[in-house]
Amino acid sequence: MPAPATADSGAAQARILPGITGQSRRKMRVPTPSLLGTFEFKIYYVICVVTIANMIYTMYQASSPKRPEYAEYKDELSEGWMFGRKIDLSDGQWDTFRSHLPAFAGVMFLYVALNWIFRLVVVRRVYSDFLASPTKVRGVLPTLWLPFLFATVFTIGLSGVSSVFILAIAGGNYLLAKRLGGQKWAPAVFWAYNMAVLFTNEYYKGYEFGQMSQSLAWLDEWRGVLRRWDITFNITMLRMVSFAMDYHWRVRQESETSIQQIDALVADPKSDKERVENSCFAQDYCFANYWAYLLYPPLYLTGPIITFNNFISQMRYPSPSVSVKYTVLYGIRLLASALLMELILHTVYCVAISKWGHWETFSVYEISLFGYMRLSFIWLKLLIIWRFARFWAMADGLDTAENMRRCMSNNYSLQQFWRDWHCSYNKWIVRYVYIPLGGRKTSMWNTFVVFTFVALWHDLTMRLLQWAWIIALLFLPEGLATWYFNRPRWTRKPYFRLLCSLGGTVNIVAMMIANLVGFGDEGVDKMLAKVFSREGFVFLAVVYVTLNMYLQVIFEWREYEYRKEYAAANKDTSTQQQWEMTDTAPSAPAVGHTRGSSDSPTLVKRQQRAG
């Protein structure tokens, strides 16, 4: 259900900023008075602090070497470096990333340093006309020569002779796009090809030369550091679809409008939305740019995802949002997140205990905490991996979407949760799957198609398909509740925020169950069976009440964020009005001049987010 802090609260809250018209009039409402200092919320603060402290203490004690269960799973632990305790590195993905982190960081530092030198020395001197007027160069961009070469060497180092398979698959997609782009049925071919690639990669486990001919079996000994290149190729597949579809839409546009009009939109993009939606020059869709985009070193293995149009646009016009100060602060935040992960894995052995899967001796409270921490670990693990890649892309001057925009525990809406979890992937899904299938007009069945693809893209297992269909089903009651209750007859009521928290708590529990089913360990069925037994009934009732209190704090925090946006928008509007009054002759107001135009950067940004 919608939070009162973010929903449009009807006529009672429909007072709008003066001078704002059109779409922004429906978006901007006067914020509600702050409740943060009230007696009610002081009680919530005390309960939240006590509860969180008890959760931390309980998980620490449940992971103690003094517990009898410790002897059963201690072999899953590794030697640590904090507090004389062992560290839980039983998650294979995190263990691989952590053990190879120095090497990855070294390679990325080398790439960024070489690319900056190349730009300063070669591009600035040899391609000065490109820097003066970026639209004069069409086709292979000078800023992509070094990324193209480094990406090729980097891929060969990672995958060895298997790079031949990567080249063949990518080349096939390129030829299909160039030959079929613009045809009505071309998207179906692109999708069929790329889905077939996912299935065959999985079935043949990255292919082996020995399977083709015994005389070539010796080549399998030279498969590079990343022998199973197909495991991370799912990310590359998204880029392949992006290139094919962006080129397809470019060709379609040429049949509907003049090439000059399309090309005019390339110059000097004003927003990220323009970079994504406006097509590149037709010559930009060449193999060199395509190859550099697919294998761009900082983002190659993990993402975040960026569309081909956006990537080329930033190679031509660097994003002004990337600055040295912001990149350094982002790196500090990344380091802090990594240290937090080390602290958690030294004190709470949630992964090892979940993999062990024997819950008979744990209490319902301990089991639920381990389930929560298992999901929190997945969130923090992916946050660090994605931020590591995004940090090096930013250091290279490329801006991408932040994949984890909110903490996992700061979500109560299923829709908002999936917009903030793997955000760049969500945007990719919306652009290349959801909207082409009809968008909101077909959302009843479109959502099931989207999440079926998400499950197949992650892994070809029935368990993930079950997870996807559960998530798709959960969208229905949330959508119906939002549609029914987000009306003045309800939003005007003083108990509206309580209704929202009652629905939000159900959402939180349902999302935890669904994600444990999809991404939990083998013993998750036993875990859930004990939590939802008679023994756990009283515990669940207490959890439900506590989560309702917690959500009241979350709602008010969202409203606090909105108050700051509203104040900034109000300031921009007032500044614009003052400018208009000084710019216009007092005796004759300018004809057609609208006070408080909604074109201010803050309001535009607000409208884009709201849309």
Q: Provide the annotated active-site residues.
A: 458
Q: Compute the distance between CA of residue 354 and CA of residue 482 in angstroms, rounded to an integer.
A: 35
Q: Which residues contact 43 (CB under 8 A, 6 or more apart)?
A: 549
What is the token pair recorded at 555?
């709602």
Residue with token string 């081909």: 308
Residue with tokens 């693809």: 453
Check: CB of residue 280 under 8 Å from CB of residue 269: no
CA distance 598 to 604: 7
- Calculate the CA dihedral of residues 458, 462, 465, 466 and round it to 10 degrees: -130
Task: Tell me how far apart the alpha carbons of residues 609 and 101 are, in angstroms, rounded to a whole number.
Answer: 34
User: What is the residue type of 380?
Assistant: L
Instruction: Report CA 341 to chain centroid distance, whole Å.
Output: 19
Rounded Cα distance, 402 and 512, in Å: 23
Phi, psi of 77, deg, nearest 5:
-90, 160
108-114 contacts at long range (C-beta below 8 A, 24 or more positions apart): 108/297, 108/298, 108/392, 108/395, 111/150, 111/154, 111/297, 111/298, 111/392, 111/396, 112/298, 112/392, 112/395, 112/396, 114/146, 114/150
Q: In the structure encoding, which two tokens stand for residue 466, read together?
A: 């079950």
For 87, phi and psi rounded to 5 degrees? -120, 140
SS3 114: helix
> Cα 429 from chain centroid?
11
488 C-beta neighbours (distance < 10 Å), count = 14
Contact, 172 vs 234, CB < 8 A? no
Peptide bond into 134 cis (omega under 30): no
Q: How far is CA 508 from the centre of its chain?
A: 19
Q: Give dist(CA 590, CA 580) in Å, integer.
A: 9
Structural contact between residues 247 and 285, judged by C-beta atoms closer than 8 angstroms? yes
Q: Which amino acid is at 263?
A: D
Gap between the Cα atoms of 428 and 411, Å rounded: 21
How far is it, in rounded angstroms, from Cα 507 to Cα 488? 23
Rounded CA-CA distance 520/254 in Å is 48
Question: How far is residue 453 from each of residues 355, 471, 519, 610, measured CA to CA in Å?
Answer: 27, 13, 16, 26
Tell me how far apart the alpha carbons of residues 266 and 309 are, in angstroms, rounded to a whole number: 10
CA–CA–CA angle 533, 537, 543 (5° rounding):
125
- The C-alpha atoms of residue 383 and residue 49 are separated, in whole angstroms, by 25
